[in-house]
Amino acid sequence: MAKCAKRQIAHLDGYVAALSETDRALVNRIYHVQTAVGGLAVPPSMQAWVESTFGDLGAVRTQHVVKVTNLITMEGALFNPLRGVRPIDLWPEVDVCAAIEQTRGGPFCHPESLTPEDIFAEGLPGRVRGKYCITASNIAKYDGYHGLVIFDEHNPLEISSERVRDYIDTALRWAKRAHNADRSAKYFFLMWNCLWKGGASIVHGHMQVALGRGMHYARVEHWRRQALLYRLAHGENYFDDLYRVHEALGLATTIGETRAVVSLTPVKEKEILLISPTCWIDNDDCKEALGSILQTYTGAMGVQSFNLALYQRPIDVAEEDWDGFPAVVRLVDRGDLNVRTTDVGCMELYGSSVITTDPFDVIDAIRSQRDPLA
C-alpha cells in the first residue's frame, strides 16, 4: 500500500468504502463494521478536569466507537481510543526490574533439582534440553501431557531471535517425544504467559506446552470448523482471505514468507497474528519472524506483559480435515504491570472485547522497526 496520511481506526468504515469492489465484498464477507456515536454533557464543574485528563472536551462530548465483528468466527471488538486515557486507580509505582530481580534464585533458576520431570514412556522420567532452555513437568496439570519450557535466562523480557527459535524447537521436540510415548496424544498447544498481568504465576521466563487427545483445544477447534465452513461456502481458504482483507486495509505486512496481521477483532490490546507459510511451525522463517516481532513488541512498543499462543494442526491429521489450516501465532499485550485493574472484564468474557489501541498504530510500529525510513 502506498504511503498516505496517518490512518485511524475511527475512519475504518470510510477506508472500507474506498476499497475496490472485490476487496470491499471480501471485507463485508468476513466483517461487520459499524460506528456508534455516544454523546454526553459535561457540567461546568467538570470541564477543567476533563480537559486535563482527556485533552479535548469535544472528543469526550461526542465519542465515536468503531464496532467490528468477525462474521465467520464471531469474535468482536469495540474500539474507542479515548478509553486508553481514562483514569484508573494505580498500585503504588512498581519497579518492574526490581520485582523481576527479587525473584531471581527461585526454583526455575535451578530446574534440574527444583522442578519435576515428565514421564514420557515406560515410567521413565526425562527432560528435553535446548541450547537456552530445558523442559520440566507442570506440577499442577491441565492435561495429561502438560510441561514447561524453562528458559536459562531468569528475566522473561530478555528476548532474542536465537533464544525464541531454541525455545520453539525444544517445545516441538517435547511434543514429538510425548507423541512417541502415546500416539493418541497429538494436539499440541504452545503458550507463553509473560509476567503477572499475563497470568504467569512464576516470574522466571518460561513457556507451557500441552499435548491433548481426542480433540484440539476449544478455540483452535472452533477456528478449524469455521474455516472449513468458509471453504464450503466460498471455495476459498479463510486464512488467505483474512490476510487479503487486512492487507487491503493496510493492516498486514510480511516478514520473510510469514504474514503478520494486526487483527481487526483483537482479543485484547495490540493483537498480532503471525501466519506461517507452512502448516507446522518447524520452519525457520516463522520462528525468525516471531523473534523479530517479540523484540519490537517488548522494545519499541513498550509491552511488558503478554500472552502468546500457537494454533496448529495436530501431529496426526488422519481423522479430521485440517487442510489449509496454517500454523498461527497469536500475540496479545496484557497491559501495564503497574495497573491494578485487570484488562479483562464482563465485556471481554461475555460480550465483545473493548480495545483502546489503534491497530493502525500497531502496524506502523511493526513497519517502522523493519524499515526505519518508511
Minimum CB distance to Zn ion smaller for 13 or for 101: 101
The Cβ of residue 266 has, within 10 Å, a number of other Cβ atoms equal to 23
Residue 81 vs 111, nearer CB to Zn ion: 111
Report, in Å, the least distance between residue 298 CB and Zn ion.
18
Sheet strands (E) in 295-373: 306-311, 328-333, 353-355
> Phi/psi class of residue 354: alpha, beta or left (left: φ > 0; alpha: ψ in -120 to 50)?
beta
Q: Write the single-letter amino acid at 290.
A: L
- Min dist CB 96 to Zn ion, Å, is 15
Residues 195-214 that bind Zn ion (CB under 5 A): 204
Q: Which stretch binds Zn ion (CB under 5 A): 149-157, 171-179, 228-236, 349-357?
A: 149-157
Spatial distance between the Cα atoms of 126 and 142, rounded to a whole number of angstroms:
19
Degrees, nearest 5: CA angle 128-132-137: 35
SS3 161: helix
- Can you tell me which of 109, 228, 279, 339 binds Zn ion, judged by CB under 5 A? 109
Shortest CB 154 distance to Zn ion, Å: 4
**Selected range binding Zn ion among 14-22, 49-57, 108-116, 263-271, rule: CB under 5 A:** 108-116
Instruction: Specify the residue for cell string 483445544.
Output: 217
Selected binder of Zn ion within 15, 31, 79, 108 (CB under 5 A):
108
Give least dist CB 92 to Zn ion, A. 25
Give me the least distance between CB of 208 and Zn ion, in Å please.
16
- Measured from the CB atom, the residue of 115 and 357 that comes closer to Zn ion is 115
Q: Which stretch binds Zn ion (CB under 5 A): 101-109, 171-179, 244-252, 292-300?
A: 101-109
Nearer to Zn ion, 159 or 331 (CB): 159
Of the pair 152, 247, the CB lying nearest Zn ion is at 152
Looking only at residues 152 through 171 of this chain, which bind Zn ion when binding is defined by CB under 5 A?
154
Neighbours of 173 (CB within 10 A): 15
> Hey, is 147 helix, strand or coil?
strand
Least spacing, CB of residue 159 vs Zn ion, in Å: 15
Q: Is 132 in the site for Zn ion (CB under 5 A)?
A: no
Place of cell 494505580: 90
Q: How many residues bind Zn ion (CB under 5 A)?
A: 4
Cell 463485508: give the residue.
28
Q: Is the dihedral of CA 351, 73, 28, 253 positive or negative?
A: positive
Closest distance of CB 197 from Zn ion, Å: 18
Closer of 82 and 109 to Zn ion (Cβ): 109
Residue 138 near residue 208, CB atoms below 8 Å: yes
CA angle centred on 245, ends 241 and 248, rounded to 5°: 130
Of residues 65 and 109, the one with the C-beta less far from Zn ion: 109
Q: Which is nearer to Zn ion, 14 or 105 (CB)?
A: 105
- Cβ at position 304, least distance to Zn ion in Å: 17
Burial of 337 (0-12, 13-18, 19+ CB in 10 A): middle
Of 110 and 183, CB closest to Zn ion: 110
List own/partner pairs for 89-93 with CB under 8 A and 24 or more apart: 89/340, 89/341, 90/338, 90/339, 90/340, 91/338, 91/339, 91/340, 93/338
How many residues does the structure list for the chain? 374
CB of 198 to Zn ion, least distance (A): 16
Which residues are at the interface with Zn ion (CB under 5 A)? 108-109, 154, 204
